[in-house]
Amino acid sequence: MTESAFIHRFEPARDAGSAPLLLLHGTGGDENDLLGLGKMISPGAALLSPRGRVLEHGMPRFFRRLAEGVFDEDDVRRRARELGDFVGEARQRYGIAAPVAVGFSNGANIAAALLLLQPGVLAGAILLRAMVPLSDPPKAELGGKPVLLLSGQADPIVPASNSARLATLLSEAGARVDHRVLPAGHQLSQADVTLARDWIGNVAVEAA
Q: Which of the residues are catalytic?
A: 105, 155, 186
Which residue from 196, 25, 8, 163 is spatially nearest to 106, judged by alpha carbons?
25
Q: Is the dihedral of CA 158, 98, 50, 38 positive or negative?
A: positive
CA 64 to chain centre: 16
DSSP state of 181: E
- Measured from the Cβ of residue 2, the count of other Cβ atoms closer than 10 Å reads 8
- Measured from the Cβ of residue 133, the count of other Cβ atoms closer than 10 Å reads 26
d(CA 15, CA 17): 5
* Cβ–Cβ < 8 Å for 57, 67: no
* Cβ–Cβ < 8 Å for 97, 17: no
- Measured from the Cβ of residue 180, the count of other Cβ atoms closer than 10 Å reads 13
